[in-house]
Structure 1
Amino acid sequence: MRTQIVKLRFFLIGVLVAALTACQPEEVTTGNGLSDPDVDASFTVESVSGEPNRFTLTANRNDVLKSLWNIGDGFYTGDLTEEIFLPDAGTYTITHQAYGRGGIINETSQEINVATSDPVAGNLIKGGEFEKAEDHEQWTVLQISDSGTYWTFNEGSANVVGSGYNQQGLYQAIEVEANKEYTIDMKVFGSGAINTWFEVYVSPTAPVQKQDYTAEGRRMGLSTWDGCANGPFEGKLSKIGCVGSGNTVSFEQSGTVYLVIKSGGESLGSTGISLTNVEFRGSAN
Structure 2
Amino acid sequence: MNFQYIKHTRTIAMAALLAGAVSGCTPESSDKGLGPLPTASFTADPLAGNPNKIVVKNTTPGGFLFEWIDDAGHKSKRETDTLSFFQAGKYKIQFTVFTSGGYAKTAKEITIAQNAETQDILQGGNMEAGSEQFWTVLNTGGTQTGIKIENGKMVFSNTGNSNGAIYQKVSVKAGKSYVFSGHVQGNGATNSWFEVYIDAAVPKQGSDYSGNKFISLNTWSGCGAVAFNDDLAKIGCDGTGKDKNGIMTFSKAGDIYIVIKAGSSGGTLGTGGITLDDVKFLEEK
Place the TM-score, normalised by the shorter chain, in its bin: 0.5 to 0.7
Aligned to 2:270: 269
229-238 or 173-182: bigger deviation: 173-182
Post-superposition CA distance 1:70-128 (Å, at most 9, x none)? xxxxxxxxxxxx989766xxxxxxxxxxxxxxxxxxxxxxxxxxxxxx2xx21111010
Quick check: which one's helix share is greater?
1
CA distance in structure 1 between the partners assigned to 2:175 and 2:282 by the alignment: 14
Q: What does 1:1-285 align with in structure 2 at a 5 Å threshold?
A: 118=117, 121-132=118-129, 134-215=130-211, 217-246=212-241, 247-266=246-265, 267-283=268-284
Are the counterparts in 1 of residues 191 and 219 from structure 2 also a CA contact under 8 Å?
A: yes
The structure with the larger Rg is: 1
Q: Report deviation, 1:164.
A: 3.3
Q: Which amino acid aligns with 2:200?
A: P
Q: Which amino acid aligns with 1:280?
A: F
CA distance in structure 1 between the partners assigned to 2:119 and 2:279 by the alignment: 12
What is the TM-score with the length of structure 2 in the denominator?
Answer: 0.56
Matched position secondary structure for 1:239: helix
Q: Report deviation, 1:283.
A: 4.6
Post-superposition CA distance 1:160-205 (Å, at most 9, x none)? 0114331100100001112222111111001110000111111111
Q: Which amino acid aligns with 2:274?
A: I
* Alignment length (residue pairs): 176
Q: Which runs of 4+ in 1 moved over 3 A?
A: 53-57, 82-87
Quick one: structure 1 residues 85 and 160, their matched pair in 2 at CA, closer, same or farther if it must change by over 3 Å?
A: farther
Q: Which amino acid aligns with 1:257?
A: I
Matched position secondary structure for 2:213: coil
Q: Which runs of 5+ in 2 are unaligned?
A: 1-50, 53-85, 91-110
RMSD value, Cα: 2.5
Q: Which runs of 5+ in 1 are unaligned?
A: 1-49, 58-81, 88-117
What is the TM-score with the length of structure 1 in the denominator?
Answer: 0.56
Q: Which amino acid aligns with 1:186?
A: G
175-184 or 123-132: bigger deviation: 175-184
Matched position secondary structure for 1:238: helix
Post-superposition CA distance 1:24-61 (Å, at most 9, x none)? xxxxxxxxxxxxxxxxxxxxxxxxxx88x95569xxxx
Q: Which amino acid aligns with 2:156?
A: V
Quick one: structure 1 residues 235 and 148, their matched pair in 2 at CA, closer, same or farther if it must change by over 3 Å?
A: same
Are the counterparts in 1 of residues 143 and 161 from structure 2 also a CA contact under 8 Å?
A: no
CA distance in structure 2 between the partners assigned to 1:123 and 1:193 by the alignment: 30
Quick one: structure 1 residues 252 and 154, their matched pair in 2 at CA, closer, same or farther if it must change by over 3 Å?
A: same
Are the counterparts in 2 of residues 192 and 232 from structure 1 also a CA contact under 8 Å?
A: yes
Q: Report deviation, 1:147.
A: 2.5
Q: Percent same amino acid among aligned pairs? A: 32
